[in-house]
Amino acid sequence: MAPRCMMNTLLRRGSAYTRCLHSQHPPDIYTPIAQPVLAPVPVSVPKKNSSKKYKRLSRRRRGKVDPVSSEGIINHDLLSISESYSTILIPEALIEHYYHRENSRIVESLEIIKVISTGHGVGICSLEQGEGRMIVMVPFTTVGDIVKVKLGRHHSVYAEGEIMSVLVPSSLRDDSLIRCKEFGKCSGCQLQMIPYQEQLSFKTEVVRNAYRQFGFAVDDLPIEGTVASPLQYNYRTKLTPHFGSRRDKITLGFESSGTRRLFDLKQCSIATEVLNGALQNDRDELETIVKKYKKSGTVLLRDKSVNGMRGYTTNHTEVITQQIQDYKFQFPAGEFFQNNNSILPVLLAHIRTFLRPGLHKTIVDTYCGSGFFGISLSKGMERLIGIEISKGSLEFATRNSQLNNLRNAEFLLGSSEEIFKGLDNVDPGETVVILDPSRKGSNHDYLNQLAKFKPSLIVYVSCNVHSQARDLQYLLNNTENGNQYEVSVIRGYDFFPQTKHVECLAQNPLLDQGRMDLSKDLSQVSIDQPEDKSFEHGDYAGELEDYDDALSHSTNFSYAEEKTINDQDAKMRAFEEIPLQRDSSKKTVKSRRSSSALFSHPPPPPVTKPKIAVSPKLVPKKPLKLSNSYKLGGRNEGVEEHDHETDDIPSPELVELYGHIKTCRELRKKYQTVSYQYPEQNPKNQDDWQIYPPPPRPTYDNKKILPESAQPDSKTFDISKCHIPPADETVAIGNNSDDVLQVIDSDGKPLATDIPTLRDYYMDMEKIISISSDGPAKSFAFRRLQYLEARWNLYYLLNEYEETSVSKKNPHRDFYNVRKVDTHVHHSACMNQKHLLRFIKHKIKNYPTEKVIFRDNKVLSLEEVFQSLNLTAYDLSIDTLDMHAHKDTFHRFDKFNLKYNPIGESRLREIFLKTDNYIQGRYLADITKEVFSDLENSKYQMCEYRISVYGRSIDEWSKLAAWVIDNKLLSNNVRWLVQVPRLYDVYKKTGLVKSFHEIIRNLFQPLFEVSIDPSKDPKLFVFLQRVIGFDSVDDESKVDRRFFKKYPIPSLWDAPQNPPYSYYLYYLYANLANLNSYRVKRGFNTFVLRPHSGEAGDPEHLISAYLTSEGISHGILLRKIPFVQYLYYLDQVGVAMSPLSNNALFLTYDKNPFPYYFKRGLNVSLSTDDPLQFSYTREPLIEEYSVAAQIYKLSNVDMCELAKNSVVQSGWERCIKEHWIGQDYSRGGIEGNDVEKTNVPDIRVAYREETLQTEYDLIEYYSSMCLEG
């Protein structure tokens, strides 16, 4: 042990990282950390060492360390660990002894407590003889690993360790993911043993640590999650292996981890296949190149493509051509160019979202190199200026601008002292400066000049986030205009999967522009309808605010960290919910069972009203024993269960609350039953139902011509083969007192008499509104929802691995080949932009003279239409179409509707996206068939397309049916819903209708007529066989007109104001109910009501939909009315959610309540809404699932459960659903689950069913009580 005087001398030096804390520290400081002890070996510490090597080492240690170097980053990260864990570091006097490799030690058991920014795992071990504790840094480990380590080189802050074996692997470690044979030897990839999503989370934390290191308050920074690379392996286009010869044997590879020795590399899992082929197959050729050199060196391997043929080069001066999106770039093989081309389009797309046409007119690309960023982002800009201090790079940048036909580009040779010289004629207020420096970052001279230039926006891209954070800290705090900038976006990009490195993007606009954007957003929000205050006051107000806060993350969003915190909190709440044993004298049952049984039926939450004396006569009508079979989905044998029978007398308020819940559920049941919206009431779900053409039979031989039974419907359909029933001469059509159409018999009596009247409907609705706005009811429902979420967290904690095991054992099935239905998608936006663009270009090139539209008193051809727009097919691009919903549509439904117009031109929408136009919708039919073909080829994806009937004229139904049938738009992968836009006020102003009654008549009279006499319009009759139901659409945020005891009927509604949402819904419901009651009698399929509801506006819309509708779309406002959310859960009302759509319109993705609904057990599914506006791929539904899976951390079982939910919610016939998800699916529970088809394990289904049954049991138990006497 070192002499005390020497240790005190070291302490007086004041080294930032050298601390010698003595053994007088109380032992409990160290209890949180496992402290492995080194094997005792006699220590002999020399008093003095005068070796030159040690002096050089000491000088280096005393020197200033660059904080962005590896050593500086390690020092910062380890200092934070030592402070967090009260670590005792090695006294500096012992460094010499531990430095030499021959004195290495073995740590028998070391627990990894953290992974630092360099990718090394870190643990803490104790020294022998009371010398203290030290940090050990071990590569190729992750948090939670317990490893055996050989200590190597020692530093003043830490010791390097070499992993000998993994004793206990972490839950994050999965060695089956490792592809590289040299993993553990090669230091290039540190993270292959970690799932990719965890790698992204680690890199997000690296970004946060970097900014924390340089004084930023990271909790206030907009640091977003790291963006995944499309390619996780075989992405690297350049390798520079080292070579050396020893004993006439040439070694070509990299240095072994922790040493300077080379190992021979024959395969690199992150290099492209071409480069791997060179390493394996062209070994002799590479060795010939190496033999030209006497000493060791580095050889270049660069992937290249010549005339479509892939190859490689070793020549540093050879010119390489790379294609990135629509741009080509040339550069010398030895010069810098991004090595992961797969993620570059993603980065460019994100940067383009920062650029604002009209405000930003010039791009200045500093550190431009060969001009990659400037050229790729120049579209839409008036001018591009590139600045580079390397003359050779500048020549290639100029060449690349000419190669890409850029006429507005110029490249200047600058110097570090006057980098912005020559920009006197550039307006900084209209300029975006992009900088992408080398790993060492920028310098103060450049940053001072940049701030003095004062551009409108600074975009900083860096492969070293630490140097980026350092530079931004200097720019914002130490330059002339730095305080006028803010950091608005920080986002990591995984350019280097499997490694520790992360590329980082920072957006820095001027503050005045940031304020302008904010005021713009606030002005948009302010026009929204104020929410009903009845949902915000009362005893529940404080809890509701906490609830909203829990669901709404700040804009500084890091989902990985936030999810970890939320999950931990949820688990703690789950365990806190467990009630104490009432009888402490009872012995604990020693049985292996789920601990959730302890809180399967927690006591109701405490009421907030004053306590009322309970009458002794308040007793149950009959004793009710609650379900006692629940084990969190487990089916363990021989387990003693709780006895949930209780003799406790509840408070009258609790009985009243459960009575209200039962009343609300009975109201919904009445409305659904009389309208024949339950699946078992629909004739198409009976055994004798037949539809023509029938579903195609499966076929597996693609080399043969498909038999007719397997051909798609559009090929085989023949309307003459359809059975058209005869007319019913005994009935007629009439109106009741509420102006609702109904079928009457020969005596004038209506066939359906139990349909709720308009007054009944509003009275029932008012009753639920009153209950749901009551403070105790909201508090009660909120706590029940919290309980359901806590229960889920505990279930998932205990059963995650069992679920995964069941899923893996299921042959053939995975998420991709289980049936899934897009339950909410609009037909006119069913294609993605790229598909529509190709289609438009195809028509222009091949049918330019075809007459397509009547405008300005003449018929125009397609060519003439585009000539009037000054456009050609070549000019068209995704950006030209401008149909994606971007930031400008947020809370602006009016702007979103304009996105349906290609290039902003309504005439193009009429030509390509309308059914009723000059060409009779032929173009829309053609592209619809292409979309159908994609669906049929995918086999496992189905869509329910919403197509519009406006109610403007009586013949709309006939025209729509003729369009579908004549164009044979029939597919077993597709069903239709008819959407009715709420546009009465528009039609009234334009004189198309005189009263609201005309819209109702135009919507429903043709349906009543064709149901009575199908021969009157056979096409409409056949089309209706594939129509599921009705939707009500438009901007929900419009202010509704409220009723007060006066309920005007439609024939009297002739005012210009639009009727409220609830009024529309009632008349859709009431007419459907009468229509369905007659169609059931004739054996025809019935229709359901599935409106858009809860997307924005008044939360009362959700109450109206709860009564009248089978399911809804969106439902995001359920988060604000917990009582109604609880009702939706109890009745398993289908909710088709579209987080990507909400993200563009009303609610950002991170604040979407979808994951909370799913955990609580609501019947939710994922849908795309408008692929044309939101999607980027030809499989928008898969895109929706994949984004949700990445952001919300959904497991494969979660995805399959959502897919099963979508099938159950959908309107396909029972016989088809039986084929998709099992013969007994309608029975529910485990009995109805066919895991071989759904890939949802029985334990998940049992958990969902029994949790719901628990709620039903509680409702029945408490609502069965009454007050006697």
Q: Tell me which H or E stretch contains 1054.
A: none
**Distance in angstroms (rounded) separating the CA atoms of residues 719 and 723:** 9
Closest CA to 555 of 1147, 1227, 1170, 1269: 1147
Instruction: Please state the separation of Cα 846 from the chain's center in Å.
Output: 39
Token pair, residue 481, equals 């205009």
Closest CA to 547 of 716, 349, 785: 785
**Distance in angstroms (rounded) separating the CA atoms of residues 158 and 89:** 8
Closest CA to 695 of 1027, 962, 931, 936: 936
**Distance in angstroms (rounded) separating the CA atoms of residues 802 and 301:** 46
4: Cβ–Cβ under 8 A, 6 or more apart, which residues? none
Strands 741-744 and 732-735, sheet pairing: antiparallel
436 assigned to a ligand binding site: yes
367 assigned to a ligand binding site: yes
338 assigned to a ligand binding site: yes
Cis omega (within 30 of 0) on the bond before 693? yes
Per-residue CA distances from 530 to 448, 536, 1094 (Å): 47, 12, 14
Instruction: Please state the separation of Cα 627 from the chain's center in Å.
Output: 37
**Quick check: helix, strand or coil at residue 611?**
coil
**Distance in angstroms (rounded) separating the CA atoms of residues 612 and 610:** 6
917: Cβ–Cβ under 8 A, 6 or more apart, which residues? 852, 853, 910, 911
Which DSSP symbol is given to 107?
A: E
**Distance in angstroms (rounded) separating the CA atoms of residues 595 and 592:** 9
> Which of 180, 189, 463, 1200 is the catalytic position?
463
Backbone angles phi, psi at 220, to 5 degrees: -100, 0
**Distance in angstroms (rounded) separating the CA atoms of residues 802 and 313:** 50
Give 1101-1167 as a DSSP string.
Answer: HHHHHHHH-SEEEE-GGGGG-HHHHHHHHHTT-EEEE-HHHHHHHTS-GGG-SHHHHHHHT--EEE-
Specify which residues 364 forms β-bridges with: 385, 433
Token pair, residue 642, equals 């709780």
Backbone angles phi, psi at 997, to 5 degrees: -65, -30
Annotate 807-851 with three-state secondary structure.
HHHCCCCCHHHCCEEEEEEEHHHCCCHHHHHHHHHHHHHHCCCCE
**Distance in angstroms (rounded) separating the CA atoms of residues 564 and 798:** 17
Q: Tell me which H or E stretch contains 223.
A: strand 223-227
Cα torsion 315, 321, 324, 329: sign: positive
CB 238 within 8 A of CB 170: no
Q: Is 664 a catalytic residue?
A: no
Helix 1214-1221 to helix 1196-1209 angle, to the nearest 10 degrees? 170
**At CB < 8 A and 24+ separation, what contacts does 12-15 make?**
13/92, 15/92, 15/156
**How many residues would you count in the chain?**
1269
Which residue carries 């080509």 as its tokens?
Answer: 328
Specify which residues 979 forms β-bridges with: 948, 1031
1247 assigned to a ligand binding site: no
Strands 1111-1114 and 301-306, sheet pairing: unpaired
Annotated catalytic residues are 463
* Residues placed in the known binding site for S-adenosyl-L-methionine: 338, 367, 388, 436
Binding site as annotated, residues: 338, 367, 388, 436
